[in-house]
Amino acid sequence: MGEIVVLRHGQTEWSRSGQHTGSTDLPLLADGEQQARALRTVLGGRTFAEVRVSPLLRARRTADLAGLGSTAVDPDLVELDYGGYEGRTTAEISAELGREWSIWRDGTATAAVPGETLDDVGRRVDRVLDRARARLDDGDVALVAHGHVLRVLTARWLGLAPEAGALFALPAGHYGILGHEHGRPVLTGWALG
């Protein structure tokens, strides 16, 4: 049975500055392109039955530079919708609220511009995982996407609530491996790059 490789796109201007980047379609920085090219070497020995990629440019470009290409553009892999918090840092949001804010505890909703709930993201990634599981008998599956959506996806792979994604920090340009041990879903590698 194959494994699922979850790959976060390379560095962008906002991932470097810590700004939450949902639907804003930023290009990779030169550093991000180099991160993606470096993955070609470490992932080159795998045979992928399927490569599913977020529709956003930063993920598609990462997949191409890493030598993965894509077999499917999957809208369910798009990054979390941050609503009114799009483009803002955790520090800025916390200062505005007058308390420490966490996407994992507090969500993305603002009165003016509500975002997506973690439960909504959990339902999206459950669909992605269903599609990936269907291909694992044929080999590995790569999912190239974004930090928060891949963290929720990893939590759901392990049978955890979407909020447990807080436990799986994944730097830009790095990847993790979701596999099995004794027939149970496990995390076999994380924050590799």
- Judged by phi (left if over 0) then psi (alpha if -120 to 50, else beta), residue 119 lies in alpha
Reference 125, options 102, 147, 97, 96; nearest CA is: 147
Reference 172, options 4, 3, 14; nearest CA is: 14
For the four alpha carbons of 101, 102, 105 and 108, in that order, the dihedral sign comes to: positive
**DSSP character for 12?**
B
Beta carbons of 48 and 141 less than 8 angstroms apart: yes
Provide the strand spans (E) within the chain: 4-8, 48-53, 72-73, 140-145, 175-181, 184-192
List the structure tokens of 45.
């020995």
Task: Tell me which of 3, 79, 86, 116 is the catalytic residue.
Answer: 79
Task: Tell me which of 3, 9, 50, 86 is the catalytic residue.
Answer: 9
Task: Tell me if residue 79 is catalytic.
Answer: yes
CA distances from 45 to 41, 66, 140 (A): 8, 12, 11
Q: Which residues does the annotation mark as catalytic? A: 9, 79
